[in-house]
Amino acid sequence: MSEEIKERIIRVLINSGILILITLALGLSIPGTLALISLIPKEGLSLSTTFLLLLIMITAFFALRILLDLMRLVDLTLDYLTRHVPGLKAEKRISIIKALKEIVLVLVLVLITTPASQALLLIPSIGSWLTIGLSAIVLVTSLILIYDAGKTLYVIFESGIQLLIDRLAGARKDEAKPNDIKEI
């Protein structure tokens, strides 16, 4: 497993370097890319526009490879972490990994929504509505995923949580009992 982790990390680093080089060399940005795409219907498809679109597709391919490798690294990391939790059964480990993936997905959604909403604002007349719609969709999706992850984790750790609550409640009852002093 450690060989696969090393290989994935190297691939992520190499693909990230290539992606950064292409982006910097071409001066690509989300607003610039959207402006290029919006010019196609007005001016037609020229050779330079075709070349830029091809390079944009190549950068999207490298970004996709990075995301797929990162997802596999998250899987391996979560599997490694859950194997070292004492007393955790295999069927519970799968549920924990699913819940942690949902939490990671929420973080990724928030990170992607931030630049995407800025790019949507560049679209004339409906950009603000699209931004509001995207934000609402991501908010609802994030709340559903967080609720599901929380429910899953609670069910898995319910017995341990209940034991902790019982011990704390028992300790408080012992503190609340008056001493066995008899009044005369």
* pLDDT tens string 137-155: 999 999 999 999 999 888 8
Under a CB-based contact definition with an 8 Å cutoff, are residues 119 and 31 in contact? Answer: yes
What pLDDT does 148 receive? 92
Give the C-alpha separation, 174 to 125, whole Å. 67
* Amino acid letter for position 20: I
Q: Which residues of the chain have pLDDT under 50?
A: none
Crossing angle for the helix pair 2-26 and 47-83, to the nearest 10 degrees: 150
What pLDDT does 87 receive? 64
What pLDDT does 58 receive? 83
- Domain ranges for the chain, please list them: 1-84, 90-175
What pLDDT does 74 receive? 80
Q: Could you tell me which of 23, 120, 117, 119 has the C-alpha nearest to residue 66?
A: 23
Residue 135: how many CA atoms within 13 Å on its side-chain side?
A: 13
Provide the 10 A C-beta neighbour count for residue 96. 20
Task: Indicate the SS3 state at residue 174.
Answer: helix
Q: What is the pLDDT of residues 57-89, one digit of tens each?
A: 888 888 888 888 888 888 888 777 777 766 667
What pLDDT does 141 receive? 93
What pLDDT does 43 receive? 66
